[in-house]
Amino acid sequence: MSSEKSVLDLKKGEWAFIKSLDELDLTCRLMTMGVLPKAKVQMVRKSPFGGAIYLKINESGVAVRNEEAEHIIIEQ
């Protein structure tokens, strides 16, 4: 588990493909927002006071909290 990287490990401006979503409860909600396996995800920036990040998923902007983002696992 610890070897897997989440979108939180991306640096500002970096992108990757989503591998999986690893928390059942959040998965459904994230998927309806377009956060799907195989989608391209880019870390746009962190929120000014921390706690949340600005992502681009296939070109659409989505903001998620860190504790939500750590369940978005990316391909290495």
Partner 1 sequence: MTDTNRRAVALVGNPNAGKSSIFNQLTGLRQQTANFPGVTVEKKIGVAVLDKGTKVDIIDLPGCYSLYPNSKDEKVVLEILTDKNNPDNPDLIVYVADINHLERHLLLATQLHDLGHHMILVINMIDTLHEAVIPDYKALEKRFNMPVIAVSSKTGDHIEDLKLEIKKAINASPSKERKPFYVLNQLEDKTARTVANILDTENIYLANIIAHHYKWMPHLSAAQRINIAAEVKHQGFEDIRFQIQETMSRFNDIQPLTVRVLKNTKANDTADLTDKIDSILTNRVAGPILFFALMMLMFQAVFSWAQYPMEWIETGFASAGNWVRYVFGQGYFSDLIVDGILAGLSGVLVFIPQITILFLLISVMEESGYMSRAVFMFDNIMQKFGLNGRSMVALISSGACAVPAIMSTRTISNWKERIITIMVAPLISCSARLPVYALLVAFVVPQTSVWGIFNAQGLVFMGLYLLGIVSSLVTAYVFSLFIKSDSRSHLMIELPQYKPPIWKNVFYNVKEKVWAFIWNAGKIIMLISILLWFLASFGPSKNMQAASDRAQVEAGNLNLSADEKDNLEASYKLEASYAGILGKSIEPIIRPLGFDWKIGIALITSFAAREVFVGTMATIYSVGSTEDELSIKEKMMAEKRPDTGVMVYTPITALSLLVFYVFAMQCMSTLAVTKKETGSWKWAMVQLTYLSALAYLSSLFIYQVFG
Instruction: Please name the helix (run of DSSP H) or strand (run of DSSP E) that holds residue 43, with its range, or none.
Output: strand 40-46
Residue 50 DSSP label? S
Told to check if 1 binds partner 1 by CB under 8 A, we report no
In terms of DSSP H, where are the helices of 33-69? 66-69
Does residue 75 interact with partner 1 by CB under 8 A? no
Q: Does 74 contact partner 1 by CB under 8 A?
A: no
| Nearest-approach distance from CB 36 to partner 1, in angstroms | 6
In the complex with partner 1, which residue's Cβ is closer, 9 or 27?
27
Phi-psi region of 7 (alpha: psi -120 to 50; beta: other; left: phi over 0): alpha
Smallest distance from partner 1 to CB 14, Å:
15
Q: Does 49 bind partner 1 (CB under 8 A)?
A: yes
